[in-house]
A and B are shown apart, each in its own frame.
Chain A
């Protein structure tokens, strides 16, 4: 007599609190397991690779400062994505807005030159970079709020244009952004007044603390202010917003612009920080896309993004160093990033549903 077993999904009335922590945590673990399978299959030792990554990313003092340094930009793109996602606006073009932030920051730095002191220059560079990021999402924000055009498509496609812009500014002869009379096309360094120096000669820059501060402020804005209240109403029920006289179009517009500005800030942070110049190498790094994963793992919670941003920075910087220390493939870090996103999104099912197996009862004939 066969007794069939069915997997039953029952919608939860309420998500247990512990799952909100457990699901992201287990997504990371599951991704590490998948990564280990790949490492094994390609003849590497997962244990050795992971322990190397761990020490390079999180335990050595050099590793820690490198991780925190890299997390600066990742937290920027993470809060950028989350700020839009929380209102169901899927700005996945943070990557392009980041490029624009770099272009804007480098441009203003080079244009003003050494004429202003550092404490004026740094804010100007960061501000112009943010504005450039916001400018890059202006069109998607406008058509989304007025016509309802999908921002997923527009922001993504604009990223390719932004990448072409970066290449154009670096590779076209006589460009404002490059060193003249150089055999190899290379971005011009911004003046010293527009550069910060790493704390204690590490790759951790003071901009890290600014970004942490911004994440905390945003957390407060969403939880405590009328603006945050409006965002919550619109994202949950647009009709309730209409009922209460809340202007959803205007809020949509402003949320998207702020999201773009935050990614732009990420680009500008690279100008005052480690890069110091417009560098087409940024296109290969995918910091903007990483922000999407960081936001998803933190479930758009701004304080959790600080944690997931640092975690990702550790994976990335640990992974990047593997190539140097051992002969493991550099891409394990990026692969883990992708796997974590998949598991974090899949894990949503466990949060929303109570999943269990039942033995179906058959009426005995």
Chain B
């Protein structure tokens, strides 16, 4: 708040009276084949500050971060540390300058303990490890920033939030003064996000600098002292001042136009039961993955399944789609049992399924859009592509898919367009008209514009009377779209609430496995 007014200007301030920034990037340019990932980008972070890099996927924020920590080298431009020009030839060189990155996908050895992971890569280890001494050292570092971790615990047993803490402690232990956090909240439940933000504050108070990389507007406004917005590799704006920023303004800088993300939950007269699940249990390799799940989805209704990844969502979707056979219980689509009868039978009853993995499961990467449309359809002995071609052209137009035509290879589509192809195929029906649509994380990894389109498509499908089961780790998405919400935790439904009256705190607590009031 204190420095809300000044500094709205362009570019980082050079040694012009103000304190030298801890780390600055000056006119950084980075090219990849066919892409200009960073186009003379300026960026700087002060000691004790949280400076956010905001942008859509592909805006160039991860590329910039990779250069700041030494993973990539810029094609042009340079980096300064405390005003002095440095050259970062590797992440190790970055560490020597006190710069560390916490990656979105953790780089931890699951079989090692927390302490072992933290010291991994240190060069000053003696031949013989003194474990208890090391554990004490690691615990001391963690405690000084209020990061509670148990140095002797095995990383494989930790939750995602705890693992992230290990990554942060590892960076601090290695002497990091500047931490780059790459989409740190993507994998966390709300309670863990809160905890992370507390830790971030503890670190900035101790004088550390945080570069926070994100595309989630709400949290960016909450955590950042300053925000730099990137679009198509260029800086489109600097905004400073915590809490004073308008998310709409940030969204406009990020996307380049106004965005309406809140979908209206139209109150739909719900029809007959399309999907009926009774006492569904699934055990894989002796481990119970789903237990005693029962619910229905009606025509014209969207049911949301919330939960942290790995609590049985994928298996639930696969079982409904006929890809896995339940250990006990039954699934019926439009009144006909589909249990143990395979995916083609389920599709003949009107199932459509958009899996979480677009390329590699939903779409065949090396095949054309046309051939991918054929994947879930009846293909005859000699594949008749000539009659499907006009339909492919029509769908490309109708769903506004950016492609060179039906022969465009799926692998070469952007994430958003690949998702549109998948939705186009599944919504348009193959063997029969679509009655039930199961969608998993439909907007994951998409940019804001594509998210808007995909959500609108789901909404249209619901209005058209299709029953939709939305399985997503994005709690905001589930909360804003669903008519009813179920929370899946360790394979069981632990919470159930109507969409309108759902409360973030209660649903979030249920996702974290805390006993909420409601269904026991």
Q: In the complex, how many angstroms separate the beta carbon of B160 from the nearest chain A beta carbon?
A: 24
CA distance A251 to B361 in the complex (A): 18
Report A346-365 CB contacts with B as 1/0, cut-off 8 Å. 00000000100000111101
How many whole Å from A274's CB to the nearest CB in chain B?
37
B78 adjacent to chain A (CB < 8 Å): yes
- Inter-chain CA distance A162–B382, complex, in Å, is 37
Contact A12 B33 (CB under 8 A): yes
Interface centre among A227, A228, A229, A361 (most CB of B within 10 A): A229
Partner of B383, one of A226, A240, A243: A226
Chain A residues with Cβ under 8 A from B363's Cβ?
A: 240
CB-contacts of A191-208 with B (<8 A): none
Docked pose: A224 CA to B371 CA in angstroms: 11
A242 touches B323 (CB 8 A): yes
Q: Which of A225, A228, A233 contacts B375 (CB 8 A)?
A: A233
The reply to whether B87 and A233 form a contact with Cβ atoms under 8 Å apart is no
Contacts of B353 in A (CB 8 A): 243
Residues of B within 8 A of A360 (CB): 73
When C-beta atoms are compared, the residue in chain A nearest to B371 turns out to be: A229
Tally of contact residues, B, Cβ under 8 A: 38
Known: A12-B33, A354-B33, A363-B78. A225 touches B87 (CB 8 A): no
**In the complex, which residues 355-403 of chain B have their Cβ closer than 8 Å to any Cβ of chain A?**
355, 357, 359-367, 371, 374-376, 379-383
Contact A13 B87 (CB under 8 A): no
Q: Does A281 touch B at the CB level, under 8 Å?
A: no
Least CB separation from A360: chain B residue? B73
Residue in A227, A228, A237, A365 whose CB lies within 8 Å of B360 = A237
B293 on the interface (CB 8 Å rule)? no
Q: How many residues of A contact B (CB 8 A)?
A: 26
**B48 on the A face (CB < 8 A):** no
CB atoms of B344 and A363 under 8 A apart: no
Nearest B-chain residue to A365, judged by Cβ? B85
**A224 vs B347: C-alpha distance when bound (angstroms):** 24
For A228, list chain B residues within 8 Å (CB). 383
**What is the 8 Å Cβ interface bit string for chain B, positions 402-416, against chain A (1 contact, 0 not)?**
000000000010000
Q: Give the chain A neighbours of B344 by CB distance below 8 A.
A: 245
Q: Are A237 and B382 in contact (CB under 8 A)?
A: no
Residue numbers in B under 8 Å from A237 (CB-CB): 359-361, 364-365
- Among B75, B347, B357, B382, the residue within 8 A (CB) of A239 is B357
Which residues of B lie under 8 Å from residue A232 when comparing CB positions? Answer: 364, 366-367, 371
Please encode chain A, from 209 to 250, with 1 for each CB lying within 8 Å of some chain B CB and 0 for all others.
000000000000000111111001100110110111100000
Bound Cα distance from A14 to B366, whole angstroms? 11
A244 to B364: give the CA distance in the assembly, Å: 11
State whether B34 touches A13 (Cβ < 8 A).
Answer: yes
User: CB of A10 within 8 A of chain B?
Assistant: yes
Q: Which residues from A are CB-within-8-Å of B374?
A: 229
Closest to B360 in A: A237
* Chain A proximity of B278: nearest CB distance (Å): 23
Chain B 322-343 interface residues, beta-carbon cutoff 8 Å to A: 322-323, 342-343
Asked whether, in the complex, the Cβ of B367 is within 8 Å of the Cβ of A361, the reply is no
Contact of A13 with B33 at beta-carbon distance under 8 Å, contacts A237-B365, A243-B353 already known: yes
Q: A228-B383, A239-B357 are in contact. List 17 more A-B contacts (CB 8 A).
A: A225-B381, A232-B367, A232-B371, A233-B375, A236-B364, A236-B365, A236-B366, A237-B360, A237-B361, A239-B360, A239-B361, A240-B361, A240-B364, A243-B376, A245-B343, A363-B85, A363-B86
A-B contact pairs, 30 of them (CB 8 A): A12-B33, A13-B34, A14-B412, A224-B382, A225-B381, A226-B379, A227-B381, A228-B383, A232-B364, A233-B364, A233-B375, A236-B367, A237-B360, A237-B364, A239-B360, A239-B361, A240-B360, A240-B364, A242-B323, A243-B343, A243-B355, A243-B361, A243-B375, A243-B376, A245-B344, A354-B33, A361-B73, A362-B87, A363-B86, A363-B87
